[in-house]
Amino acid sequence: MGILSEKVAIVTGAAQGIGRAIAEEYAREGARVALADINAEEAERAALKLSEAGSKAMAVAVDVSDEHSVNALIGKVVDQFGDLDILVNNAGIYPRHVWHEMTAEQWDHIQGVNLRSCFLCARAAFPYFKKNGKGKIINISSVTFWVGAPQHLVHYIASKGGIIGFTRALARDVGEFHIQVNAITPGAVETEEERKVATPEQVGAIVAQQCLKSRVTPRDIARAAVFLASADSDMITGQTLNVDGGWAMH
């Protein structure tokens, strides 16, 4: 029996990277997991792999920046699994743009996917958490908020800072219903997407600044997300857990 046995969890952006690792760890701990992603094909593949391993998993195609799509996601998961206990707002994008050359539309798109999505998903999940008198919301922010780097990510870092503010304020507003809201700030995590945008030299420079001279993996983030989803963290809310090997400290 895992520490999340029979809990129902939604993880957005779960087709790959950190989101997929969180979904896998939740499944190992006994949760019934909905892998939500705009990449429906990859989400289906990930969910099938979990199902073949004996876990209860489903994939749901969703555009987390769209209100109707998010509401449909929550409805499908509750219809399939009967309830909702855990929401992980992980979906995010980070295209590079020089800030003064960025269009308003590009700025808005980043805010929509990275920040607005947290509000939409939390709002849609809230009635089920309120009814049950408990719930866990885990928002994935970024160490970039603490360090203000790298360059050409002003829009992304602003959205990730917004997630921390959202986490703190929402924790105040939903505490009376015994709903915990926390955030995780991953460091430089070794993922497929990182390899597309960072050179080995750039990664090495970051690791050199860490107290622990090892790469942060998606599973490192996932294990923190397991803790924040479990009863072990029932008296922790409004907090941000930094998982970066000791790069930034706050």
Q: Measured between alpha carbons, how far is 138 from 180 in angstroms, rounded to an integer? A: 8
Q: Which two tokens stand for residue 33?
A: 């997991």
For CA atoms 142, 146, 147, 149, the dihedral sign is: positive
For residue 77, give both structure tokens.
């998961």
Residue 144 CB coordination number (10 Å): 22
Largest CA distance in the chain: 53
Q: Which two tokens stand for residue 28?
A: 């190992």
Beta strands in the chain (DSSP E): 8-12, 32-37, 57-61, 86-89, 135-140, 179-186, 240-243
Q: Of the residues 26, 94, 128, 156, which is catalytic?
A: 156
Q: Is 26 a catalytic residue?
A: no
Residue numbers annotated as active site: 156
